[in-house]
Amino acid sequence: MNKKNIILLVAVAAMAASCGKSGGGRPNFGDNEYPVMTVGMQSAASQSTYPASIKGVQDVQISPKLGGFITRILVKEGQSVSAGQLLFEIDNQTYQAQVRQMQAAVNTAQSQVNTAELTYQNSKQLHENKVIGDFELQTAENAMNSAKAQLAQAQAALASAKEALSFCYVKSPAAGIVGTLPFKVGALVSAANVLTTVSNNSQMEVYFSMTEKDVLAMQRAYGSHGEALSELPKVKLKLADGTEYGYEGTVTKMSGVIDQATGTVQMIALFQNPDRLLKSGGSGTIIIPESNDQAIVIPQSCVTEVQNKKFVYTLGNDNKVKYTEIKVAPQNDGNNYVVTEGLQVGDKYVTNGITKLSDQMEIVPITPERYQQKIDEQAKAMTAGDIVSSMKK
């Protein structure tokens, strides 16, 4: 046998040995021995994930209070602004003219009041000197009061005109970051138009939904709505690019209403955003870590799946296997399942060779360590002819 063939046989032998370690098949021991393990409790860490949307703690839509043409835009998209900062100017020529007109009316009314007061004071002295009677004095007083009322009316009209003029100057009601600017200088806008959105993104609220079943289980476990929220662990956020956000968040709010369309309850987690990495309107995935100190964990390799149902072969006292359905937690690490139903502590299940088993088949149980030892022994004892023969089968 030449060197090339020897190398080939060694490679084939290695492949045969590795195949014996897989969960689906088993080596041909010539007997009915299968490895069996006993179910026990162990710690298991898992996580639940939920699609999420990101919003600022305070997202304020900025709209003008009156219609007109935009004459100035004093901010840029993404700019930080403070509360009360001027953002836009609306054409205000008409409103300035109204203010000047109302101011003139106030000045006229004030002059009339001054004249009426002088007339009244003069009439009062004449009345004291018995020059005029009560009727003339009362008439002068009434004229003075009427002039004061007209002044108050003119002042109110001036205040209204000034307020209308102030509406031409659109200011930010809160500190935050300016969003998109859909309108340009010269655009005609009305009170129905949203000029931009100012988002306070020093902290971000991340919205996600949990199923009604999960929320009920959580509330039963902790006793109340408030306790359930306080006992939830810190959550993580996976961003749209697949990276994990650098700060953990806290679930702070839970809706008291179940969405009938989806059967879910809205939750809100609060994240700090010192680097301004999170943007209002973004998306991501909320990750809630879970730990269980009394979990039943089994390898995925010993589980078969038929029509979305999962089964294992359990071993009875008569050494006969039973095709047993189990239920597992939806989250797993890719290697193991956390069993929620179908297995109990003390049950025994077959770990390897399950493809050769059938329901009620009698086997000879051995330990997984003995099973691996027999694989290694058989691999060492195989000749080149055995390898070729096994490959032809």
Model confidence at 373: pLDDT above 80: yes
As a CATH number, domain 48-57+202-291 is 2.40.30.170
SS (H, E, C) the chain: CCHHHHHHHHHHHHHHHHHHCCCCCCCCCCCCEEEEEECCEEEEEEEEEEEEEEEEEEEEEECCCCCEEEEEECCCCCCEECCCCEEEEECCHHHHHHHHHHHHHHHHHHHHHHHHHHHHHHHHHHHHCCCCCHHHHHHHHHHHHHHHHHHHHHHHHHHHHHHHHHCCEEECCCCEEECCCCCCCCCEECCCCCCEEEEEEEEEEEEEEEEHHHHHHHHHHHCCHHHHHHHCCCEEEEECCCCECCCCEEEEEEEEEEECCCCEEEEEEEEECCCCCCCCCCEEEEEEEEEEEEEEEEEHHHCEEECCEEEEEEECCCCEEEEEEEEECCCCCCCEEEEEECCCCCCEEECCCHHHCCCCCECEEECHHHHHHHHHHHHHHCCHHHHHHHHHC
Give every CB contact of residue 200 below 8 A, 6+ residues apart in sequence: 56, 57, 58, 59, 174, 175, 176, 177
Long-range contacts (CB closer than 8 Å, 24 or more residues apart) made by 268-272:
268/205, 268/206, 268/207, 269/52, 269/205, 269/206, 269/208, 269/235, 269/237, 270/57, 270/203, 270/204, 270/205, 270/206, 271/203, 271/204, 271/205, 271/206, 271/237, 271/245, 271/247, 272/202, 272/203, 272/247
| Per-residue confidence (pLDDT) for residue 276, from 0 to 100 | 85
Model confidence at 214: pLDDT above 90: no
**Domain(s) of CATH 2.40.30.170: residues in the chain:** 48-57+202-291
Q: In the predicted model, what is the mean pLDDT of residues 112-136?
A: 92
Model confidence at 66: pLDDT above 60: yes
| Per-residue confidence (pLDDT) for residue 6, from 0 to 100 | 41
| Bridge partners (DSSP) listed for residue 234 | none
Q: In the predicted model, what is the mean pLDDT of residues 246-257?
A: 91
Q: In the predicted model, what is the mean pLDDT of residues 72-88?
A: 93
Per CATH, is 23-39+303-382 categorized as 3.50.50.60? no
What mean pLDDT, rounded, does the chain reach?
Answer: 86
| Per-residue confidence (pLDDT) for residue 22, from 0 to 100 | 43
| Per-residue confidence (pLDDT) for residue 21, from 0 to 100 | 42
Model confidence at 29: pLDDT above 80: no
Model confidence at 385: pLDDT above 70: no
Q: In the predicted model, what is the mean pLDDT of residues 114-130?
A: 93
| Per-residue confidence (pLDDT) for residue 158, from 0 to 100 | 96
Structure tokens at 312: 């294992």
pLDDT-derived band of residue 9, with 50, 70 and 90 as boundaries?
Answer: very low
| Per-residue confidence (pLDDT) for residue 2, from 0 to 100 | 46
| Per-residue confidence (pLDDT) for residue 87, from 0 to 100 | 96
Per CATH, is 92-167 categorized as 1.10.3470? no
- Where is average pLDDT lowest: 13-27, 135-149, 183-197, 334-348? 13-27
Share of the chain above pLDDT 70, in %: 88
Give every CB contact of residue 61 below 8 A, 6+ residues apart in sequence: 194, 197
Give every CB contact of residue 288 below 8 A, 6+ residues apart in sequence: 47, 48, 49, 50, 232, 233, 235
C-alpha radius of gyration, the chain, whole number: 42
| Per-residue confidence (pLDDT) for residue 20, from 0 to 100 | 43
| Per-residue confidence (pLDDT) for residue 359, from 0 to 100 | 92
CA–CA separation, 54 and 238 (whole Å): 11
Residue-wise pLDDT for 173-185, tens only, equals 988 889 999 999 9
Model confidence at 284: pLDDT above 90: yes
CB-CB contact of 55 with 204 (8 Å): yes
Q: In the predicted model, what is the mean pLDDT of residues 168-194?
A: 93
| Per-residue confidence (pLDDT) for residue 18, from 0 to 100 | 44
Model confidence at 334: pLDDT above 80: no
**Domain(s) of CATH 1.10.287: residues in the chain:** 92-167
CA–CA separation, 162 and 44 (whole Å): 68
Higher pLDDT, 23 or 370: 370
Structure tokens at 145: 């009061």
Q: Other CB atoms closer than 10 Å to residue 358's CB: what's the count?
A: 8
Chain-centre distance for alpha carbon 39: 38
